[in-house]
Chain A
Amino acid sequence: MTTGAAVIPSDELLVRRYLRGDVFAFEQLVERYTPALFNLAYRLTQDRGEAEQVVQETFIRALGALKRVRTDLPLKPWLLQITLNLCRTLHHKQRPLTFSDLSRDDNGEIELADDAPLPHDWAEREETRALVRRALSELPPAYQAVLTLRYNEDLSYEDIARVLALPLNTVRTHLFRAKAQLRSHLVEWMRDEPTIMAQQRAHKMDE
């Protein structure tokens, strides 16, 4: 029995087709990976225009370098790595993106996660999803990138380590600390929530 579903060509096949002179095969890869690359670039640069530039440059670089890479290795981590390196270069002067000593804040002191407990029903609350989203956008860009690679792109620890050019244990530490910091934000906001709600109510009454 045959199904009508179209067979999606693998990355490896598309790369091989491109290397034989089929530019359309590369265009399919552009279509496939633009969302992932844009997401990472946006998390790192926090600027849509810059992120767009980085994604364009990523594909142009990949175009020239594809002949020299091994086609049997996964393409996605390699593309993400180019994007990440371009973001690093772009921000080199203005705002360096450091992945190696993320645990230290500007004063060189190790950040301590807020150990206060979250409200028992935090996961069931309606506003939690929006708060998690906001907390993510307030993390240092490098932490956002680590979480993006793990949760949006579903990369293995090994692949994340390869993309970030960091040892595996450092990746594990970063993931833990990113989540600990995210949790701290949630603790802080949920603790302040009664005050915020009261302020909002007062604001409404004033109107």
Chain B
Amino acid sequence: MTCETAELFLDTYLAGALPLERRAEVDAHLRACETCRARVNEFAALDDFLSELPRAVVPTQLSARIQQQVRAHAKQRHVGHALSLAFVTLCSSLLFAWMASDTWDALQDRVAWEYVSWLLSVPEVFWRHPSEMLAGFADFAPLSRIILTTASALTTAWLLRYMIAEFRPPMQRLS
């Protein structure tokens, strides 16, 4: 082992964190090299001095100032988040209202209900020709509209749940 390689491991050697095999190599080098031996002793003492060195003195109230900033920042993010959530929920509710009113109007048609009750009376026909039966139903209330109504209702409900969680007061400090 050369002095240069030994230097690379001196710090880890002093920390006692060198794998056994490598440690033996460094030991062998130290036995042979007086300069490195002296260096190890000096570095060991230097390590002690460095470990005792204090940190830079923190300005008074720095933590408190940062905590205040963090609180303001968190509040700002919270308000921003809540507002965008409220906007999206409103859009989703409007979409639901629009879709639902048209679907409701279509379903008000007496013929539509007669078709539905006929379908229910002969369920085996439905199972035999499902696509044709659904197409017949779509003549009264287009299927896409029903799907969109259901989807927008589910989305609105999901967003409302999030809104409630968002506007709930923050948890209190645990003592």
- CB-CB under 8 A for A34 and B53, given A60-B69, A123-B45, A182-B46: no
Name the residue in A27, A59, A173 with the highest tally of chain B Cβ atoms < 10 Å from its Cβ.
A27
Query: Which of B12, B74, B174 touches A63 (beta carbons < 8 Å)?
Result: B74
Query: Is A76 part of the contact surface with B, judged by Cβ < 8 Å?
Result: no
Q: Does B25 contact A (CB under 8 A)?
A: no
B8 within 8 A of A: yes
Task: Across the interface, name the chain B residue whose C-beta is closest to A39.
Answer: B55
- Min CB distance B168 to A, Å, is 8
| B11 partner, pick from A30, A64, A172, beta carbons under 8 A | A172
User: CA A52 – CA B70 in complex, angstroms?
Assistant: 14
CA distance A81 to B2 in the complex (A): 34
**Closest 10 pairs between A and B when the two form their complex, measured CB to CB:** A39-B55, A123-B45, A42-B56, A151-B50, A132-B49, A24-B173, A27-B67, A34-B63, A22-B171, A39-B56
Known A60-B73, A176-B11; contact A34-B49, beta-carbon cutoff 8 A: no
A55, CB-defined interface residue at 8 Å: yes
Q: How many angstroms from the CA of A136 to the CA of B47 in the assembled complex?
A: 12
Residue A71 is within 8 A (CB to CB) of chain B in the complex: no
Chain A interface mostly helix, strand, loop or mixed? helix
Q: Which residue of B lies closest to A170 (CB)?
A: B8
Residues on B with C-beta less than 8 A from A10 are: none
A22: contacting residue among B7, B66, B170, CB under 8 A: B170
Dominant SS among interface residues on chain B: helix
> Could you tell me which A residues sit within 8 Å of B by CB distance?
17, 20-24, 26-27, 30-31, 34-36, 38-39, 42-43, 48, 51-52, 55-56, 59-60, 63-64, 115, 117-118, 122-123, 128-129, 132-133, 136, 147, 150-152, 157, 169, 172-173, 175-176, 179, 182-183
CB-based A-B contact count at 8 angstroms: 109
Chain A residues with Cβ below 8 Å from B161 are none
Q: Are the CB atoms of B70 and A35 closer together than 8 Å?
A: no
Let me know if A26 and B49 touch, CB within 8 A: no
Residues of B within 8 A of A128 (CB): 49
Cβ–Cβ < 8 Å partners of A42 in chain B? 56
Least CB distance from A83 to B in Å reads 13
Instruction: Kindly list chain B residues whose C-beta atoms are within 8 Å of the C-beta of A129.
Output: 49, 52
Beta-carbon contact of B50 and A132 below 8 Å: yes
Q: Digit string of B61-80 for contact with A (CB within 8 Å is 1, else 0)? A: 01101110111011001000
Determine the chain B residues whose CB is within 8 A of the CB of A117 once the complex forms. Answer: 38
A183 to B74, CA, bound (A): 47
B59 CB within 8 Å of chain A:
yes
List A contacts of B35 (CB < 8 A): 115
Decide: B7 and A176 in contact? CB cutoff 8 A: yes
Complex CA gap A52/B61 in Å reads 11
The answer to whether B53 and A133 have CB atoms under 8 Å apart is: yes
